Amino acid sequence: MNNAQSSTVASGLAWFKSSYSGTEGGDCVEFAPSTAVVHIRDSKAATGPVLTVSREVWAKLVGMAASDPRV
């Protein structure tokens, strides 16, 4: 995991936001998949820090969130 990813480097990526986030802002993350990793950032701070994880870690995170009854 790498949280030192520069926002400048990450700005050329295609970012995606959950369809559940709506247009009012609020608490949401955006993700940008690339060949080997997935970049994650706070949608309210697009120029802020970026968390970078492997595609395998991203898949596990999404799987855990999908199976959590509180979500």
Question: Looking at residue 55, what is its pLDDT?
Answer: 95
Q: Which residues pair with 39 in a beta bridge?
A: 32, 52
- The mean pLDDT of 8-28, rounded to a whole number, is 71
Q: Which residues does 5 contact at the CB level (< 8 Å), separation at least 6?
A: 39, 49, 50, 51, 52
Under 8 Å between Cβ of 1 and 53: yes
Question: Looking at residue 29, what is its pLDDT?
Answer: 84
| Domains of the chain by residue range | 2-18+27-67
Under 8 Å between Cβ of 53 and 31: no
**pLDDT-based confidence at residue 4 (cuts at 50, 70, 90):** very low
d(CA 59, CA 19): 18
29-70 pLDDT per residue, tens: 899 999 999 999 988 888 889 999 999 999 999 999 888 877
